[in-house]
Amino acid sequence: MSLLHRAAGLGLAALLAAAPPALAQQKTLRVAMTAADVPTTTGMPNNGFEGMRFLGYPVFEGLVLWDLSRADRPATLRPGLAESWEQDPADPKTWIFRLRGGVAFHDGTPFDADAVIWNLDRFFKPDSPQFEPAGAGTTRARNPILASYRKIDDRTVAISTNRVASYYPYMATYILMTSPRSFEAAGRDWGKVAALPAAGTGPFRLAKFTPRISAELARNEAYWDKTRIPKLDRVLLLPMPEANTRLAALRSGQVDWIEVPPPDAIPSLKAAGFNIVTNSYPHVWPWFFQTKGDTPFADLRTRQGLNYCVDREGLVQLLNGTAEPSLGWLKSSDPNFGKPEQRYGFDPAKGKALLAAAGWTAQKPLRFKVMISTSGSGQMLPLPMNEFLQQNLKEACGVDVSFEVTEWNTLLTAARSTPGAPVLNGSVSLNPSSPSSDPSVAARYFLQAFVPPNGFNWGQWNDPVFEEAFAALENARDEATFNAAYAKAHERLVDNPPWLYIVHDLNPRAMSRRVKGFVSAQSWFQDLVTVDLQ
């Protein structure tokens, strides 16, 4: 064990040893996250969707929530702080949300339309007293089409978008509500709100926050949905970015649950009685291509060729079966995958022919730099995976890849940058994983309207056929029209690839046999309410 691992283990041991006796006697689930730090605690966590998974939805809620109750289908939506919603019949760009009554924030503040407007101002009105730049940046990136909002009455608000968007309720899941009283109690200082901690409306409340060490959640006995009072007393969240550190903590009994166990340890964990949980879910682990400016990826043949050069099955073997090959943004089994002309597989001859047609040969090999992270939300095991790809592309197609290795939040910042930005340090490809859960995500990543800083189309990709199909999807009023347009749009994502499609994650986690009641939802997000400890 390295010095770093020992230090992490000793720090964790000291933390748990210092826990008060009452805490030790309670049902406390100890979770080792892949994040390098505790997600921020003001009510809009950083650290990507892992922050939302553990410090977002359990504590803070949106008007619309994810239904995480089933493992046999991709997660759908359910009413949250809004009991219902609909497009305004007179204006399809406007959505009417009817709010749930009888809901209070953890500090007792009533939830109503004024609280919704206050939170929307926090994210979307830079001159409001409560404007929070960090939270606003995250929320705006996930809601790039929000144009305006207004209170209709105490139980009703209207949100208008700058384009017709049949999928807008999916975007609404990413606007989390915090008590306005939290901000006032902290002297209108978001830095102090983080330490209060902030108050949400969720089934758990923030009980304790130790910067860079841990966050502790406690059961909210007064939760508005009495059928969803958590079984656990507490949840202790611990950042552990290094996979072997998480593994050692689980084996030694210091934690009960780890995200992304090392694949080579899975057989021995199973033999020792630990539960290994996996499930197919809408997530893709790619390399983004920068398609604008002085970049090799302006040529379609280069992008297609690389997609034929990747040994996806070999990478799945490296990961001990905890991933599946990716042939597009959606999984090939998805009914909206469509019927693209290209069907990527490991075909070095075809890949080299396409690269040669684009001008890349043994005498003039393709060389480029990819920005990667050491860990992070949904990043699986980025260092060994990228080393595999580096060797694979060199041996199969003569491609020379170098890496710019950085921290997860820096990579997220880079994904919102423009071509040639200093943060990229010469990188023309990025490796952040992505949800592929619904068209609202596709809009942010692929529509020309959402190049940075408006969204996550970092590669500046532009496909008129995709734009036309997506417009039909946005205006669809029935399921058949919606699905046909979605399939046509996805066909373009395959045939004119903005990304190098590599694998879809199977969302692996390892747990003590004491952990019961967990449902592995087909989602980035998971429900802690049903989890129990024996």
The answer to whether residue 26 scores a pLDDT higher than 90 is no
Mean pLDDT of 303-329: 96
> What does the pLDDT read at residue 4?
35
Q: Residue 13 — pLDDT band, cuts 50, 70, 90? A: low
Mean pLDDT of the chain: 93
Mean pLDDT of 27-56: 93
Whole-prediction pTM value? 0.86
Looking at per-residue pLDDT, the higher value among 507 and 57 belongs to 57
> What does the pLDDT read at residue 453?
85
Architecture of domain 60-184: 3-Layer(aba) Sandwich (3.40)
The DSSP secondary structure of 159-203, one letter per residue, reads EEESS--TTHHHHHTT--B--HHHHHHTTS-HHHHTTS-----SS
383-411 pLDDT tens trace: 999 999 999 999 999 999 999 999 988 99
The answer to whether residue 108 scores a pLDDT higher than 80 is yes
> What does the pLDDT read at residue 380?
87
- The top-level CATH class assigned to 1-45+202-280+508-534 is alpha beta
The DSSP secondary structure of 96-117, one letter per residue, reads EEEEPSS-B-TTSPBPSHHHHH
> What does the pLDDT read at residue 12?
56
Residue 239 to residues 7, 266, 455, 514, 521, Cα–Cα distance (Å): 13, 21, 28, 21, 22
The answer to whether residue 112 scores a pLDDT higher than 90 is yes
> What does the pLDDT read at residue 15?
55
333-385 pLDDT tens trace: 898 999 999 999 999 999 999 999 999 999 999 999 999 999 888 888 899 99
Mean pLDDT of 487-507: 97
CB-CB neighbours of 267 under 10 Å: 11
Mean pLDDT of 291-302: 96
| Burial (CB count <10 Å: 0-12, 13-18, 19+), residue 275 | middle
Q: Residue 48 — pLDDT band, cuts 50, 70, 90? A: confident
The answer to whether residue 20 scores a pLDDT higher than 70 is no
Domain ranges of the chain: 1-45+202-280+508-534, 60-184, 283-505
The answer to whether residue 237 scores a pLDDT higher than 50 is yes
Mean pLDDT of 470-495: 96
Dihedral class, residue 11 (left if φ above 0, else alpha if ψ from -120 to 50, else beta): alpha
Q: How far apart are alpha carbons 73 and 287 in whole angstroms?
A: 27
Q: Would 1-45+202-280+508-534 and 283-505 be classified into the same CATH topology?
A: no
Q: How far apart are alpha carbons 203 and 219 in whole angstroms?
A: 6
> What does the pLDDT read at residue 377?
80
> What does the pLDDT read at residue 9?
45
Looking at per-residue pLDDT, the higher value among 246 and 212 belongs to 246
The answer to whether residue 489 scores a pLDDT higher than 90 is yes
Beta strands in 397-454 (DSSP E): 400-406, 429-430, 434-435
Q: Residue 25 — pLDDT band, cuts 50, 70, 90? A: low
Number of alpha carbons in the 13 Å side-chain half-sphere of residue 500: 28
Q: Which two tokens stand for residue 494?
A: 């395959």
The answer to whether residue 93 scores a pLDDT higher than 90 is yes
Residue 88 to residues 37, 63, 81, 97, Cα–Cα distance (Å): 42, 17, 19, 10
User: Which CATH number is associated with domain 283-505?
Assistant: 3.10.105.10
Nearest to 527 by CA among 33, 38, 57: 57
At 146, which amino acid appears?
Answer: L
